[in-house]
Structure 1
């Protein structure tokens, strides 16, 4: 067998697979973000960013050159101007503050930032212990975060597709009446097909993990945002996410939206 063939076979082991009927059908073959090794790897990487030993972290991987999510930064600056130089963000599923550390150097010093990450319990405990400061905070629920400080912006970056019941969550967040909602790096299915539930297998050079991952029907997804104007929509800034394969066939794409309350 040639070296090229071996490399191709190895590569084909990772990515998105299947069309599962239910979340429960995947639980026996997948784990999730609850895995302790993912938290430990992410913590070590982000501590290096926080302490100036690394430039940029994404999905626990360190980079020597920062790649900026310019569409997200533009939306954040828009909201800061509209809110009198105040940027109050709830970053739902924001890990240990990855997006905050990624964008903070492009937010002008004159903007008053409050950035609240809402995450799983183990991430919140770790964040409060190792990353929290006067700007970056960690909370267990959106309600807890709102009780601490009212937020204008809800940021949902690469999180909705990893929720067991994303449609119930979308209905829930509409009750909070956020002025602005930023959806980033969210997976959609091609050709107006129904939502598809897949198994995502992560390459081991990132970390060893497999978990359920949705691809959404974009038209159905946008139906939740009838009370919002789509200020802009944009493709993922991450290389390879503009077109995504399921079972090694191009079947989806990552995309984002900036919604402004009508």
Structure 2
């Protein structure tokens, strides 16, 4: 972690190397991987710890929302609905699943839409379709937003019954912005499609203070569980940071 360059702001990090979440090739790679997953139900490419955390979140939300015949899920940053397909396979039931993504991913995801799965460009549009939200679910997404804490404020503004922040990244005290470098092959479930050459992809990652996260929830939500996925803690610029943290909250009333 210590080798990641540190920036004064999210915008400075974007100016440094660009923002690959809006890259068409990246969207095409995830599209083709998701097609294969859906066609073959090949969920072995989804890490066990992620599958378990996702199924726990859905099971908890189902218990909290036990009077609802259809579980209503807002999936923020859910790519092309991989988590929906995993849940539908492992926990068959009735769902209304709204994925909120970038315009590039929303366009690519239209082919996967059903009466249960829809793609949206904003939390507001997704909420209009869902009505009340039983579970606001997000996995490895909040830390890539320009302001993670503001994004969480937007989550709480729609008053979900449960909130699952999975595979998140937070700092111990200070907010830190770095530039994450990964590989194209690491995006989406499974190997790269045939004929696609691997390359680096870059996007800013912001470690927000974990105390500020918990402060936002304490008056209206109770913590159900908090745990890590086994990713080691580290230090960036002398600040202790953690990746792979899972937080599950349930509304008090």
Q: 1:202 to 1:146 in 2, by over 3 A?
A: same
Structure with more contact order per residue of length (Cα contacts < 8 Å, sep ≥ 6): 2
May I ask how many residue pairs the two structures share in their alignment? 235
1:64-143 equivalences in 2 (<5 Å)? 68-83=50-65, 84=67, 85-107=69-91, 109=92, 111-128=93-110, 130-143=111-124
Q: Residue 175 of structure 2: which of 195, 201, 210 is its match?
A: 195
Please provide the CA RMSD for this pair: 2.5
Shift of 1:73: 1.0
Quote how far apart the aligned CAs of 1:148 are. 1.4
Per-residue CA distance 1:26-46 (angstroms, 9 max, x = gap): 122222300111101101101
Q: Deviations over 1:176-233 (max 9, x none)?
A: 11111111000122xx230111110113543521110012221121111121100111
CA distance in 2, matches of 1:75, 1:39: 26
Structure 1 residue runs without a partner (length 5+): 1-13, 59-64
Normalised TM-score (structure 2): 0.83
- Structure label with greater radius of gyration: 1
**TM-score, normalised with respect to structure 1:** 0.80
- The match for 1:61 is none
For 1:1-262, list aligned pairs within 5 A.
17-30=4-17, 31-52=19-40, 54-57=42-45, 68-83=50-65, 84=67, 85-107=69-91, 109=92, 111-128=93-110, 130-150=111-131, 151-189=133-171, 192-203=172-183, 205-206=185-186, 207-226=199-218, 227-236=220-229, 241-243=231-233, 246=236, 251-262=241-252
Structure 2: gaps spanning 5 or more residues: 187-198
Alpha carbons 1:68, 1:103 under 8 Å: kept = no
